Structure formats: structure tokens, C-alpha cells
A and B are shown apart, each in its own frame.
Chain A
Amino acid sequence: MKTDSTKPRVLMVDDEVAILRFLRVALQNEEFSLYEAENGHSALAAAAAVRPDIVLLDLGLPDLDGVEVIRRVREWSQVPIIVLSVRDSEDDKVGALDAGADDYLIKPFSVGELQARMRVALRRSLQPGPEPVVRCEELEIDLPRRRVTLSGAEVQLTPTEYELLRLLAAHAGRVLTHGQIMKQVWGGSYGDQNVLRVTVRNLRQKIEPDPSRPRYLITELGIGYRLKCD
């Protein structure tokens, strides 16, 4: 995972000492430099001082709400932020993602899951720009040439379908909320999300081998969609 000779710096923000301790143990072997903060204000200070490569953020902080922390960090930094929270409602997730979080993990989570998400986030942030060709198993999206192929055969997409797929491919592996997609593809003027659902359904008919069990275009319930590319 290392793309640089220096270890990636990880800022862990949580007011629960037990969680910090658990994270410390879980991430010890992964050659990260670990930094800790126990509240929102010290997290913001640490983010400025340490310049972390990735932030693991709890939402329920004693002084500032986690979403506010994300918003303030986003004012000046594009550092990947993974939210770790016990709040499992879709509203909380959408709120955090819309504010600029890259990913959202519900506690309790497994160490493996966390490491995988961190790898995805790091890879994206350490990359200078998006890859020109995104490959997800049989599905290949050639961004410069605006060409989509499934098992080598070209798939004919409408401009909207292509725009949707391109957006998801540009953030491959990452959840994009309904709001984010609507804003990017339809310019956000549509309050009605039916058009998004219909487009997703049509897109699936074209790119999924079995549309009722999608492999690439994954629905994140109540949040949005994600292009799954491992």
C-alpha cells in the first residue's frame, strides 16, 4: 500500500479511550504513524499541525459535532475522512457524506473492513488524478474515449446514463449520496429523485449480468450508490 517512503499519517478522533486503544492495536502492524485527538477542537488543531493522510472520525464528540468537524476540515483540505460512528440512521450517513466525508463505517465494525476502506481512501487520495480507464471485473469504463464495454462488447448508453456511470467511476468504491449525484448529473434542479432511480434501473439492465442481483452498481440503502471495483 505504501506509495511513499514515509508512513501515511493517520489521525484518529474519538472521545472513547477504549476505542482509541482498540484502533491503536488494530492499526499497529500497518505501518501507519498514529495520531490521536479526543475532541473536535483538538482534532481540528491536530489536522492543521500534523497534516494527516487520512482521518478516522467519530461523530459523537463532546465539544463539536463530527459533521461540523468535517465541514471545517473541508474548508481547507481534501484529506480523506472515514467516519466511524454508532449512529446507524441513513440521515446521519447522508449528512456526513454530504458534508464531505469519504466513507462511513458503523460501529461495531471489523478490523478487516476498516483496513480495506482505508486502503481505498488512501489510494484515491495519493493518486494524482483519476485513472483514465476504470475496470471492474468484466466492466470497463474508458473515460477519455467515453467508451463502456462489458466482457469486451461495447454497451450503448444514453448521455445521462453515461454521465451517471462516469461520475460513479470517477469515485470508484466510494459512496455518492443521492444529493451529490443529482447535483453533478442533473444540476441539482430536480427535487424529484425518480429520474435517478429510473436511470439506475436502465443502466443496470445494460451493464449488469443479472440486474436483480447487481455486481457493479450497488445501492447503498437510503444513502446513494457506489460503483464496486475491487
Chain B
Amino acid sequence: MRSDEEARPSPETLLKVCQAEEAQEASGKLKIFLGYAAGVGKTYAMLEAAQQRLRDGRDVVVGYVESHGRSETDLLLQGLESVPKAQIEYLGVILPEMDIDAVLKRKPQIVLVDELAHTNAPGSRHEKRWQDVEELLSTGIDVYTTVNIQHFESLNDIVAQITGVIVRETVPDSLLDRAIEIRLVDIPPEDLLQRLREGKVYIPEKAARATEKFFKPGNLMALRELSLRRAAARVDDQMRAYMESRSIAGPWPVADRLLVCVSGSPFSERLIRTTRRLADEIKAPWHTVYVETPGGGKHVRENRARVWKDLRLAESLGAQISSLTGVSVAQALIDYAVKNNVTKIVVGKPTKSRWREFLRQPLVDQVIRLSGSIDVHVVSITAEGAAPKMARQKRPMPWSGYLKSIALVLAASIVCEPAHQHLAPTNLVMVYLLAVVLAAVRLGRRESMLTAFLSVLAFDFFFVPPRFTFAVSDTQYFITFAGLFMVGVVISTLVSQSRERADSIRERELQTASLYHLSRGLAVSSDLEAILAELVKNVEESLGANVMVLLPDGERLEERAASTGMALSIKELAVADWAFRNHSPAGRGTDTLISAELLYLPLQTSGDVLGVVGVKLRDELEYSSALSRRLLEAFATQVALAIERVQFGKQAEQAQILQARETLERALLNSISHDLRTPLVSITGALGALRDKLNPLLEEAREDLLDAAWEAAGRLNRFVGNLLDMTRLESGALKLKEVPCDVEDLVGCAIAAVEPQLGKRKVELRIDEGLPLVNMDMVLMTQVLVNLLDNALKYSPRENPVELAATLVRERLTLAVSDRGPGVPEGELPHIFDKFYRVPVPEGAGGTGLGLSICKGIVEAHGGTIAAENRSGGGLQVVVTLPVR
């Protein structure tokens, strides 16, 4: 039993399998023809396969294939439909590129795209061709493509080590994982070299250069092995996935988790790739973090772009990335590792010189000391390949700062000049120290160090005997010099550190405040417009940027809110549209459609993309700034959630309205079936009895039945009339014909109409003298009075009179119909004007439940009011008021 349980795949596993299969269904299938070098015949193999598919009756087109003038390849291209290439002009040169829009429009079953790693000409939609391929796949088109092993991201540095050539065009490994089939195109290196010599790969002069540089037998062998291993690893992956999904027991690795920390140094990239390889080998998830320390504030700002790029690289290689803050990098790393169950931390071997190690314990040692049960992998990183660009790029010399330093020192000397006769030279040092402190506070670290250095020189020159030489008579002054210089350095370091710390804290504070401000604004925004306005306002305030929010309206994106003066061209709209459809950022500062003017971020919730926000930042640097991006992304997420909240609210509201309508419709149906059927019962019953010739009725019974049927028919007619009135009122078909009317006439007509119900009963009238003519639709207002009088008569005892008063109160005609009946329970009063509401009276006087709601409809159409109240002394009074114009 237990073993059964264990053998069953876990729900999560099954879900994963399902999702993977679903994703496969929806998107196109990727087939990769993988080679280890140019000339192994990838394109040839791909075209051969395409021809085969064509013969199978599939719809195959060529998206982009470069034959390099090879006749065999050209031959295979025959019979295949080619989508015309886009001609993109760049710096006066026309570059042919795949026309992705044309391919999308053509929508073939299979498209051939050569050279997956190709970098598109600037101005293309995507920076890289593999991004084009991803888009094609996402629309459900199958893609056949070719790529060489050295182009894979994670192998990039190994290839560089083997061949000494740095490959700049890389493809994320995830694409390789995504391919449903990898066809390894392999020929022995000797054959490849032979082909190269025969000029089958490159034109001869190019071939010579290539052989020299890249096509060395050793290189080729290594690359061949690499590609074979990678393809084998991929098969291994599939096997594992298969076994896992079927719960076949195997030697599963324990749940390892790797962590690597990047700093923006040139070695970070190698560290990331190494970690990815390690993680791949042991099938472990991995994290990449960046730790921001207060002291490193300036360093951070200088390396922002690099750090951000490292993190993005890690993410594209499948890492989970995050950015931490802490006083100590090691401590922050360990804290993160413990919280995330990391089992292995990868760190680089220190490259700093011994004496610096002596001053500061290297990160490796700190991590190892703190690591506890976590393994620490130390990876050697050497500076080979491209000469590492130093992370700290030299700032251009701020000459004004140095000039100020010199001025400060001069000023200090001038101050000391008159004082040196009274003071010992060592006390004059204090004045120079003051200059150093001032420089540290006002100017910066370099400037204050210069100030310290100059101070030592000036002090020596001017005040240390013998004066006006650099010679020193008393050797004890060397201690003063050293002291002055050391103190200067320490102070300037401390001050600049604390300033940087303050800067970074302020920046963070600003960020937190902006987010807090936005979320507070969003919390009180109850509708879409308010939310969007809040977003625009906050982005403007916290980033000084211009914003535009686009939301979908049917098929198109519509501008819904924007900073003043923002307008989008068609091209920009297309970029926004791309970001919206592909659920990923696009435009300036991203990898996609980088020539756009704005950066576009999708407003994404867990379920859906609700819109796009376009941002125009103040300067180019901000686009690559991790801080701005993080803040913008946080904004976008918050706003997306707020929009979703509003939409949910609206949906709930609609559901409620729908429910209310359903209840009403049910009431209507009940009422109609009851009110239509009941009279019909009396009528058909009477007619049936009258038709019955076998049992002739007595004269008296006949009369009774006829009376009942007559009455029922009248009731039926009234009900249908009410229903028609109600329908007219509700459909808006009722047009008021307002003309000045005589109130007395109105009352007379109403009383005449209720005459049949009145019989011997009296209506006590009280009509003020000299009422003006009142604008109204007399037919409808008569109906109101008739309904009210009818109710009053129906619900009050026969012996009690009904009263009708018409008076003028505050420029309004007031009509009051009162009875001395039982009244209406207080709680029911507000409902009596509702449709199909009937006061629960014992005898069931048989109203339709529509009379009062019709009255209400008519009176309100006149701009009047209607209200009911219980009278003191019993009975109900309904008061109608109409404006007198």
C-alpha cells in the first residue's frame, strides 16, 4: 500500500507534465539542427528534412536561409516557397533579414530559419533572431532551425577557453530544452577540414583565415565532443522527464539548490555560467543574487548596468534572481541561503593580492566561516579571454574639484602664516586637517585625499623648519606628516562612505515612499480612471518621466491616460502592442524593438495582461538602471492588481444586477401566470358550465356564473392594460405630452373613472381655490389618481370615506389620496412602489402589484415625487407632488 503511494506521481509532477504538454499543443514545435562548426552540413540537413516534409504534404516555407553560394544547398532550395526577405537599411548598407511579419501573415505549418544565433540588423523588431523564432513558435508555427554548439549561452565560456575565440552571438539554453527534436549533424573533423580546403564552406581566401583561427583540428575535436555531450545530455533529460512523469524510481538527486552572488565584476558572467552548468549537472534549481551594501553605494551606481545585465543573463539561463541589501555581503548571502534552502554556494577564487587580503578578509573566507551546513564551491576565475574591463571606470577628471582642493590648501596656508609665530608648527596641522575635512564633506573622496597630500607638502614647505624648502631638519616631523596624511585618508573615506550610505538610503527611502504613495493612492481609487491617473501621477513624480497607459479596447490598444503632451506614433503603438501580446517588456532598454522611443512594460497579473504602460525616462542611463526598472515594474504590478480588483468588483456588481433582474423576472412570471390564469379559470369554468347541455343550469346559477366570468374578464383586461403601461414606461416608449391642465378637471376625470367601484361610497374632495394650470400629461396623471383612488377604495372599509386633496405647497402641486383602512406596516412602506409588490392583506384584494409602481414611474417622469405614510388615527396617505412651472 505504502509503496504504491510512493510510486504514484505526485500531483505537482502530473500538473507539470500536463502544463508542458499543453504548452506544446498550443505553440509550434521547434526542431534544431545542431552542429559543432560551420560547414558540417546543418543547412543541408535542414533543407533535406524540409523537402521530405513537403513531400509529406506539409506546408513548408523558407523564412531565411543563406546558401553561401553552395550549389548543393541551392539545389535543395528549389521547390520550396521563400518568404521575401526584409531589406533593412543600416548606415547606408542594405541588410537582408527575415521578414517576421510576412511569415506571420503567411502562417505556414513549418518555417525554415537558418542561423538561430544571428543578430538582427538594428531597427529590426528583435535584437536576436532566436527571439523571432520564439515569437513564431508562440503563434503555433513549427520552426526548423540550425545552430552551432558554441552559440549556446552556458557553453559560451568553455568555447572561449578551448578556441580562444569569444562568441558574441549567443542563444539561451532554454531554447535547446524547448526543442522537441535535436538533430545532431556530425561529420568527422578531417572531412570537415577537407571540405573547407575544397572551398565548400567558405570562399577560399576567407577559408584560409578561418582555418588559421578557428578550424584547428584540436578545436574541432573539442567542439565535436561538446556538441555530442550536449545532445546526449538532452536525451538524458528527456529520459529523466519520462521516468519522473511515470514515477519510475531512479537515483534522483536530493533537492539541491545553488546560489551564486554577482557584483558587476567582469568575472560575474563566468561565475553565472559555471553555476548554471553545475546546476544542470545535478538537476538543481539555482539562484543568483546581488547584494547591495551601504559602503558600496558609488560602486553600485557605476556598475548598475553591469549588475543588471548579469542578473538578466542569470535569469535567461534559468536562475531565480533577486537583489538584497545588507551590511555584509557574506551575511546577507548566508541569510538568503538559509531562507531559501540553498545547499551549495558558488563563489569565485579571490584574485586580490595578498596584502589586500590581509587588510580585508576575502568574501570566500567570510562565507566559509558563516556557511555552517551549506557547501561552498570555490571556482577559479582567471582573467583570460577579453581583457576584463575594470568595473570601476575612471571618472573624467573633475578639474574644478581638484582646483578647489588646491585653493583650500592655499587658504589654510594663508591662515597659518600670521599664526605660525605664536603657535608651534604641530598645532598648525589642525588647520590643514580642517581643510581635509571640508574637502571630504564638500568635494569628495579623491579631492579630500589630494587635499591631505597637498596639506602635507604645504605644511612641510611653509612651516616646518627650514622654511620654504621641502627639507626637514627634525625627523620627528615625519610622524606629523604621516599622522596628517593618514587622518586625512581615514576621514575622507569615512565621510564619503557615510555620504554614499546616506545617498543609497535616501534612494531606497524614495523608492519605498513612491511605492507607498502609489499604493495609498490606489487604495482610494475606486474606478479605472482614478487608478490610471494615479499611476501617471506617481511615475511622473518619482521618476520625473513621461508616461502613457494603454488598455485594450477590443482588438486594439487605446490610450487611456497619459502625461500631458504625450502622443504615440503608429510605430510606437506597434511596439506597445507587441509588449501586450507577448507579455514581456519591449522598447528602449530591453532586448526587443530597442529602437523604440519608450520603454513598454505589460501590466501583468497572475492571470492576464491587462494593458501596457509606456515610459519615457529622463535620460538614456535610466533605461538601463536596475532601480528605475525595478520601481517601474513594481508600479506596473501594483497597478495591474488594482485594475484587476476594479474589474472583479465590476463583475461582481454585474452579477448582482443580473441576479436582481432574475429575481424580478421570476416575480414577473409568477405574477403573470397567476394574474392571467386566475380570471381565465372563472371564465372558462363559467363557459364550460353554460355549454353543458346535459345538466342545464338553474336561472340563478347561470346569472352567478355569468357575473363571475364578466368580472374576471374585466380584471384580465385591467391586468393586461397595466402590463402594457408598465412595459411602455420601462421601454421608454412613453412620451409625456405635457400641456397646462386644470387640476379640477383632472380630479373630475379620475373620479369619473372610478365611478363603477365607487357605488354609494363618497370621495371627499378638497381642492384649493385658484390653483394655476399645471403642466402635465393629463391622461397619465389621471391614471395615477385612478390607481391611488382604486387602492384606497379597495383597502379601506366600505363605510369609511376616501379623501382627495389638491393644494399648492411651496410652488408644487400636492395631491394627497387618503383612506381610513389598515394602513401598511412601517417596514413595508418603502417597498410598496416596487414592481409586483403586494401588501399582504388577508382577503387578497387581487391587485396586480403594478398599480403603484406605474404611478411612481409616471410621477417621476413628470419630475415629481410620490411617497406613502401611515396617517395618525389609522389609514394610509399617498402624496404626489408635481412642479408648477
Q: Which residues of A contact B (CB under 8 A)?
A: 88, 90, 108, 193-194, 197-198, 200-201, 204, 211-214, 218-219, 221-222
Among A108, A197, A214, A222, point to the contact of B748 (Cβ < 8 A).
Answer: A214
Task: Provide a sorted-by-A list of 7 A–B residue pairs whose CB atoms are within 8 angstroms.
Answer: A198-B742, A198-B773, A200-B742, A212-B744, A212-B747, A221-B749, A221-B778
Distance from A211 Cβ to chain B, minimum over Cβ atoms (Å)? 6
Kindly name the residue among B713, B739, B748, B779 whose own CB sees the greatest number of chain A CB atoms within 10 A: B748
Beta-carbon contacts under 8 Å, B747-767 to A: 747-749, 751-752, 765, 767
Among B713, B745, B765, point to the contact of A201 (Cβ < 8 A).
Answer: B745
* Contact in complex: A221, B782 (CB < 8 Å): yes
* Contact in complex: B713, A212 (CB < 8 Å): no
Majority SS at the chain B contact face: helix
Q: B741 an interface residue at 8 Å Cβ cutoff?
A: yes
Q: Which residues of B contact A108 (CB under 8 A)?
A: 713, 717
* Contact in complex: B752, A213 (CB < 8 Å): yes
Give A217 to B737 CA distance when docked, in angstroms: 23
Give A212 to B743 CA distance when docked, in angstroms: 9
Give A90 to B736 CA distance when docked, in angstroms: 12
A200 and B745 contact, Cβ closer than 8 Å, known pairs A212-B767, A213-B751, A213-B752: yes
Q: Which residues of B contact A214 (CB under 8 A)?
A: 748, 752
Q: Which residues of B contact A88 (CB under 8 A)?
A: 721
Q: Which residues of B contact A197 (CB under 8 A)?
A: 740-742, 745, 773
Q: Which residues of B contact A204 (CB under 8 A)?
A: 744
Q: Which residues of B contact A211 (CB under 8 A)?
A: 744, 748
Distance from B408 Cβ to chain A, minimum over Cβ atoms (Å)? 97
The residue of chain A having its C-beta at the shortest distance from the C-beta of B782 within the complex is A221
Q: Which residues of A contact B752 (CB under 8 A)?
A: 213-214, 218
Interface residues on B, range: 20 to 34
Among A193, A212, A213, A221, point to the contact of B779 (Cβ < 8 A).
Answer: A221
* Contact in complex: B747, A222 (CB < 8 Å): no
Contact with A along B355-382 (1 / 0, CB 8 A): 0000000000000000000000000000
* Contact in complex: B739, A201 (CB < 8 Å): no
Give A88 to B782 CA distance when docked, in angstroms: 15
Give A213 to B753 CA distance when docked, in angstroms: 11
Contact with A along B831-859 (1 / 0, CB 8 A): 00000000000000000000000000000
Q: Which residues of B contact A222 (CB under 8 A)?
A: 737, 778-779
**A-B residue pairs, 8 tightest by C-beta:** A222-B779, A221-B779, A201-B742, A212-B744, A219-B749, A194-B740, A197-B742, A212-B748
Distance from A225 Cβ to chain B, minimum over Cβ atoms (Å)? 10
Give A199 to B274 CA distance when docked, in angstroms: 106
Q: Which residues of A contact B778 (CB under 8 A)?
A: 221-222
Give A216 to B838 CA distance when docked, in angstroms: 38
Distance from A62 Cβ to chain B, minimum over Cβ atoms (Å)? 23
The residue of chain B having its C-beta at the shortest distance from the C-beta of A90 within the complex is B779
* Contact in complex: B744, A201 (CB < 8 Å): yes
Distance from B306 Cβ to chain A, minimum over Cβ atoms (Å)? 82
Given contacts A194-B740, A212-B751, A212-B767, 18 further A-B contacts (CB under 8 A): A90-B737, A90-B779, A193-B739, A194-B773, A197-B740, A197-B742, A200-B742, A201-B744, A201-B745, A211-B744, A212-B744, A212-B765, A213-B748, A213-B751, A214-B748, A219-B745, A221-B749, A222-B737
Distance from B724 Cβ to chain A, minimum over Cβ atoms (Å)? 8
Give A211 to B771 CA distance when docked, in angstroms: 14
Give A212 to B748 CA distance when docked, in angstroms: 5
Q: Count of A-B contacts with CB under 8 A?
A: 46
Distance from A114 Cβ to chain B, minimum over Cβ atoms (Å)? 15
Q: Which residues of A contact B745 (CB under 8 A)?
A: 197, 200-201, 219
* Contact in complex: A219, B748 (CB < 8 Å): yes
Q: Which residues of A contact B765 (CB under 8 A)?
A: 212
Give A28 to B749 CA distance when docked, in angstroms: 35
Kindly name the residue among B739, B744, B745, B773 whose own CB sees the greatest number of chain A CB atoms within 10 A: B745
The residue of chain A having its C-beta at the shortest distance from the C-beta of B765 within the complex is A212
Distance from A44 Cβ to chain B, minimum over Cβ atoms (Å)? 31
Q: Which residues of A contact B741 (CB under 8 A)?
A: 197
Q: Which residues of B contact A213 (CB under 8 A)?
A: 748, 751-752
Give A90 to B747 CA distance when docked, in angstroms: 19
Give A90 to B782 CA distance when docked, in angstroms: 13
Contact with A along B40-83 (1 / 0, CB 8 A): 00000000000000000000000000000000000000000000
Distance from A136 Cβ to chain B, minimum over Cβ atoms (Å)? 16
Q: Which residues of A contact B747 (CB under 8 A)?
A: 212
Q: Which residues of B contact A212 (CB under 8 A)?
A: 744, 747-748, 751, 765, 767
Give A142 to B717 CA distance when docked, in angstroms: 42
Distance from B364 Cβ to chain A, minimum over Cβ atoms (Å)? 95
Contact with A along B715-744 (1 / 0, CB 8 A): 001000100000000000000010111101
The residue of chain A having its C-beta at the shortest distance from the C-beta of B750 within the complex is A221
Q: Which residues of A contact B717 (CB under 8 A)?
A: 108
Distance from B68 Cβ to chain A, minimum over Cβ atoms (Å)? 83
Q: Which residues of A contact B779 (CB under 8 A)?
A: 90, 221-222
Distance from B765 Cβ to chain A, minimum over Cβ atoms (Å)? 6
Give A90 to B778 CA distance when docked, in angstroms: 11
Q: Which residues of B contact A201 (CB under 8 A)?
A: 742, 744-745
Distance from A219 Cβ to chain B, minimum over Cβ atoms (Å)? 5
Distance from A78 Cβ to chain B, minimum over Cβ atoms (Å)? 30
Contact with A along B2-24 (1 / 0, CB 8 A): 00000000000000000000000
Give A88 to B765 CA distance when docked, in angstroms: 29
The residue of chain B having its C-beta at the shortest distance from the C-beta of A208 within the complex is B748
Beta-carbon contacts under 8 Å, B765-804 to A: 765, 767, 773, 778-779, 782
Distance from B241 Cβ to chain A, minimum over Cβ atoms (Å)? 76
Q: Which residues of B contact A198 (CB under 8 A)?
A: 742, 773
Give A212 to B747 CA distance when docked, in angstroms: 7
Give A197 to B737 CA distance when docked, in angstroms: 15
Q: Which residues of A contact B767 (CB under 8 A)?
A: 212
Q: Which residues of A contact B742 (CB under 8 A)?
A: 197-198, 200-201
Q: Which residues of A contact B721 (CB under 8 A)?
A: 88
Q: Which residues of B contact A193 (CB under 8 A)?
A: 739
The residue of chain A having its C-beta at the shortest distance from the C-beta of B751 within the complex is A213
The residue of chain A having its C-beta at the shortest distance from the C-beta of B753 within the complex is A221
Kindly name the residue among B739, B747, B767 whose own CB sees the greatest number of chain A CB atoms within 10 A: B739
Give A213 to B737 CA distance when docked, in angstroms: 24
Distance from A138 Cβ to chain B, minimum over Cβ atoms (Å)? 18
Distance from B34 Cβ to chain A, minimum over Cβ atoms (Å)? 81
Q: Which residues of B contact A194 (CB under 8 A)?
A: 739-740, 773
Q: Which residues of B contact A200 (CB under 8 A)?
A: 742, 745
Q: Which residues of A contact B740 (CB under 8 A)?
A: 194, 197
Give A138 to B752 CA distance when docked, in angstroms: 19
Give A201 to B747 CA distance when docked, in angstroms: 13
The residue of chain B having its C-beta at the shortest distance from the C-beta of A197 within the complex is B742
Q: Which residues of B contact A219 (CB under 8 A)?
A: 745, 748-749
Give A200 to B739 CA distance when docked, in angstroms: 15
The residue of chain A having its C-beta at the shortest distance from the C-beta of B767 within the complex is A212
Q: Which residues of A contact B744 (CB under 8 A)?
A: 201, 204, 211-212
Distance from A213 Cβ to chain B, minimum over Cβ atoms (Å)? 6
Q: Which residues of B contact A90 (CB under 8 A)?
A: 737, 779
The residue of chain B having its C-beta at the shortest distance from the C-beta of A205 within the complex is B744
Distance from B122 Cβ to chain A, minimum over Cβ atoms (Å)? 73
Give A218 to B745 CA distance when docked, in angstroms: 9
Beta-carbon contacts under 8 Å, B671-730 to A: 713, 717, 721
Distance from B763 Cβ to chain A, minimum over Cβ atoms (Å)? 9
Q: Which residues of A contact B773 (CB under 8 A)?
A: 194, 197-198
Distance from B249 Cβ to chain A, minimum over Cβ atoms (Å)? 84
Distance from A49 Cβ to chain B, minimum over Cβ atoms (Å)? 36
Distance from A115 Cβ to chain B, minimum over Cβ atoms (Å)? 16
Give A95 to B374 CA distance when docked, in angstroms: 98
Q: Which residues of A contact B749 (CB under 8 A)?
A: 219, 221
Give A197 to B741 CA distance when docked, in angstroms: 7
The residue of chain A having its C-beta at the shortest distance from the C-beta of B766 within the complex is A212
Give A169 to B690 CA distance when docked, in angstroms: 44
Give A211 to B779 CA distance when docked, in angstroms: 19
Give A108 to B679 CA distance when docked, in angstroms: 15
